[in-house]
Structure 1
């Protein structure tokens, strides 16, 4: 049996947490017509620091403290689960070997029990409980939730997509009032998968809530992947990265645009808006023919009387 202690999730790598259920098969990126050159021709998309998104409250205090009942229970469960008879015997044997002693572990166990009045397992569990209490109580003294969230917001970058191509408000806000386009991405493509575990998606669903949780582990998704309910119409999913994964940065003085390339075969279709110009449609058709021959060219048209959208190949 391994004597490796169970690990606690690394609070400083939120992109590694599995925070949501698997994503839908296709996710959509709304954009204005001018992005045809940058995105489709250039093959790169923008990743934005959380502190720099268009949501003024993107980085906000989503939990009051790090350590509460759930965190303490998780810590206790992880540490106490490791204190098995085999683990204890291995530690005793290591200590005896270092001291150059050849004494049976049963003798050491009995000696410790007589000295402390309880078994080695009970003794270690008592010590670990005390450690967990001390460790948990000091977490917020090392770094406050505000400091932690601001730090995460400054180092983490995200690429945002939507569950749907037919959200009127999204076409109005991000799709140039129906003059732009939507790029459809297959979420099953390896670009969206975890590097260490290809079966796991790196995409994280945004949770919408206005309340503040008591502790971090009340809801990890709310802590790291949430926005206020005002933004719920976006139906957003994200893939996160750090600056070391950024391939190109465009310095505009007042702001910096960080870009990463995406594989062409991750694109399944491009949907132009109902008001897209003939020139935009022609530009999209040309780039699809040259760089994305497998992808469909489609148009979506809002239906006023049914409050829905018709999607057709063009």
Structure 2
């Protein structure tokens, strides 16, 4: 089914080697690509849905695991951790001790010295207490971050449709396919507020070090959900992170999905090793919807001279 025509085209992806600057502010491409395996891939057509994956199920064990230094950085500890009530109590204790010394010794000079010594000891004890609290709070915060990871899932896409490793890793050794989606479609833009870190495309940030910070320095969840090792930079990844309550859990397999309207799919690229059965199934699904929405279909083939993939358009419309 379907005829392959035209001259083989060498890859036209911008920056195919992933040499671009790893920036969280780079412009969103009009089309992003999702590598699909054989098992769930066809469901983008048959069930109009796309699978979201929880961080713990992804192939990178570092996903969404920052290094937390503590609840509050030392510079702001007095302002944020030590409430004014605690500070006032320290002052009152020190002042009371100084007054007592003044009554006993009847010397203003000794009274001031007593106040300074006691106040200094009180503050030292306070900071020691805060250090102990920091350890307990850091443990608690790490547990909260782990809980947050358990309550989200993500769908990961890329700027490249011709990455050989990604075809091997994410499309069943080239036996699956790739869909190209229209990134401006409303289904990919569901941000609920300016402060919402979820429900819209964000570029992954590639770094040599894990995110590390004090909790009071966090202004958004961006470093937690978007940072990956620079070794992954060739994937040129974009992702949408969503709370589980906004997704649909399949009772049969326990996986999470979100609706994907057929209008959001612009292109399909079939792998070099795709089976005749899956190839025919894809074409059948596209033919069913050809009056509703036209999707361009391509067959990937091996380049004769390079370690690269070339694509040929498949004309399937009846």
What's the TM-score bracket when you normalise by the shorter of the two chains? 0.5 to 0.7
Cα deviations across residues 102-146 of structure 1 (Å, max 9, x unaligned)? Answer: xxxxxxxxxxxxxxxxxxxxxxxxxxxxxxxxxx99888655552
Cα deviations across residues 192-229 of structure 1 (Å, max 9, x unaligned)? Answer: 1134469x981111222241344254896433212223
After TM superposition, give the deviation of residue 275 of structure 1 in Å. 2.0
**1:277 paired residue number:** 275
After TM superposition, give the deviation of residue 270 of structure 1 in Å. 0.8
**1:166 paired residue number:** 162
Which residues of 2 match residues 114-263 of structure 1 at below 5 A? 142=137, 144=139, 145-196=141-192, 202-215=200-213, 217=217, 221-252=222-253, 256-263=254-261
Question: Rg larger in 1 or in 2?
Answer: 2
CA contact (8 A) 2:270 2:300 kept: yes
After TM superposition, give the deviation of residue 31 of structure 1 in Å. 1.5
In structure 2, distance between residues paired with 1:214 and 1:35: 36
Unaligned stretches of 5+ in structure 2?
A: 1-23, 81-129
Which residues of 2 match residues 65-104 of structure 1 at below 5 A? 65-68=70-73
**2:300 paired residue number:** 300
Number of residue equivalences: 232
* Farther-moved stretch of structure 1 (27-36 vs 41-50): 27-36
The one of 25, 34, 42 aligned to 1:29: 34
Distance 1:248 1:270, change over 3 A: same
Distance 1:213 1:240, change over 3 A: closer
**1:49 paired residue number:** 54
In structure 2, distance between residues paired with 1:148 and 1:20: 28
**Of the two structures, which has the highest relative contact order with CA contacts closer than 8 Å and spacing of 6 or more?**
2
Cα deviations across residues 32-77 of structure 1 (Å, max 9, x unaligned)? Answer: 234343222111111122223222222323443454499x6xx99x
In structure 2, distance between residues paired with 1:259 and 1:309: 30
Cα deviations across residues 260-305 of structure 1 (Å, max 9, x unaligned)? Answer: 2111111001110122233222111110121363111112223252
**1:309 paired residue number:** 309
In structure 2, distance between residues paired with 1:267 and 1:174: 18
For 1:185, what is the secondary structure of its paired residue?
strand
Kindly indicate whether residue 35 of structure 2 is the aligned counterpart of residue 39 of structure 1.
no
